[in-house]
Amino acid sequence: MDIGGYLKNLREQKDLSMRQVMIRSKGLLDKTTISRIEKNKRRLSMRAAYAFSKIYGTPLDDIAEREIGISLGESLPPLVVSSLETLLLERFRQLSRSRKLLVLDIVTGLSLLAARDDDPRRALEQALGQERKEPIQKREK
């Protein structure tokens, strides 16, 4: 199926009018452009492909492959994220830029410790314990 017919089918499956697509595109598409693309009278721009992808909830590479007529092969498998990772990302996104950089430094440090020891928590406690003891010993002298 050609790209125009594919996009028209997606729009109809979502039960959307061209006007609704235009509104959801937030100014990226107008009704004439949508109509011309669906009739294959206009090539698909990156802007339009992106808008259709978001509005129809279809991967951008599916649209691109149909437009160019070839597939370059399998992409990476979808990332499987645990609920803990999702929570971590949600909390991370709420931080300021400086706090995000701090968290990145902390995680980098933890990963370095984990590479040296099977138990990163124990390695961190040992590292922190050594840092805490040194200043105390210096004060006692």
Is pTM beyond 0.75 here?
no
Helix (H) / strand (E) element for 32: namely: helix 31-38
The chain-wide mean pLDDT, for the chain, equals 84
pLDDT in tens, 43-102: 999 999 999 999 999 999 899 888 888 777 776 677 788 888 889 999 999 999 999 999
First-residue to last-residue Cα distance in the chain: 82
- Checking if the pLDDT of 141 tops 70, the result is no
Helix-strand-coil split of the chain, %, nearest 5: 70, 0, 30
What's the average model confidence in pLDDT over 23-32?
Answer: 94
Q: Which domains does the chain have, with CATH numbers?
A: 3-68 (1.10.260.40), 83-140 (no CATH)
User: Taking Cα atoms as reference points, which of 9, 47, 15 lies closest to residue 30?
Assistant: 47
Nearest C-alpha neighbor of 28 from the set 10, 43, 45 = 45
pLDDT of residue 76: 67
State yes or no: pLDDT of 140 exceeds 50.
no
User: CB neighbours (10 Å) of residue 122?
Assistant: 11
Q: Is the pLDDT assigned to residue 108 strictly greater than 80? A: yes
Please check whether residue 27 is in contact with residue 21, taking contact to mean a CB–CB distance below 8 angstroms: no
